[in-house]
Amino acid sequence: CQYVPKNLLFQLLGLSIATLTTVTHYGLHFTVISNISLESNSYRVIHHAAFYFGICLSMTLVLAALLSSAATVRESQCLTAMGFFCFALAFCGLIPAACWRYTHSTEVEDSMMDMYDLVYEEVRRNTSTVRRQELTAIHEAFLCCGKHSPLGDTANIERKTCPSSQVHDAGQDCLKQIQDFLKKHMDFVSTLLGVTIGFTVYGMILTSFLWFSIHFSSNLDRKGKYILR
């Protein structure tokens, strides 16, 4: 049966989502912003929500693939129906996630840059030594150096908080660097979402076909048989 090898694709897809989710949640670029986010900033909420959603989605896809494989081997209508339910559940979660991605495409980017602006301005006003350490951590994570400020007087800040390998004249503007990094990451997330939606629909079609195949074959096996009473 060719259905079992196809289920391996769903398992690999689920593992890919789990890997991307883990990298996004524990990656240096994201944790350095999450650790300094304020409660009023939406980034921390999005950061945790994306992690739990990604883990649940990957587990649902892997479970659907395992149930479908077991249903194929055992020719069980019950297991097939459970596999279809898991695919449908994943699809119902993916559609709102894809809609949120395109309707709130700049929310993550704006919240991260807002936090950088906040830390940068507090360091410029010399209000906190902790903020200076946080700004240094951001510069080291994104390999950038300061930003173009209309207020001027930024050389002193950048000299104290930028990595030694970064020269201000050749260094990357941090707001631009954050924007470019997130664009690449979110493009990859969008691609994975689209592929997952396509495979989820494909999985629902396959499990439906499998359920009807098992159902009609079991009915055909009963025809022509006599039961002695």
Residue 97 in any domain: the answer is: yes
pLDDT at 167 over 60: no
pLDDT band per the 50, 70, 90 thresholds, residue 150: low
Q: What is the pLDDT of residues 53-77, one digit of tens each?
A: 999 999 999 999 898 888 888 878 8
**What is the model's pTM?**
0.81
In the predicted model, is pLDDT for residue 196 greater than 70?
Answer: yes
* DSSP-derived secondary structure letter, 40: T
Residue 126 located in a structural domain: no
217 assigned to some structural domain: yes
158 and 89 in contact (C-beta within 8 Å)? Answer: no
Are the beta carbons of 158 and 145 closer than 8 angstroms? yes
In a domain, 161, yes or no: no
Positive or negative, the Cα torsion across 219, 221, 226, 229?
A: negative
Residue 211 belongs to a domain: yes
Question: Residue 2: what pLDDT?
Answer: 47
Cα separation, 167 vs 112, whole angstroms = 23
Structural domain containing residue 55: 2-108+173-227
Q: How many CB atoms lie within 10 A of CB 183?
A: 12
Inside any domain, residue 81: yes
Number of domains making up the chain:
1
Whether 120 is in a domain gets the answer: no
Q: What digits encode the pLDDT tens for the residues 113-146? A: 989 988 888 888 876 678 888 898 998 888 888 8
Question: Does residue 155 lie in a domain region?
Answer: no
What does the pLDDT average to over 170-183? 84
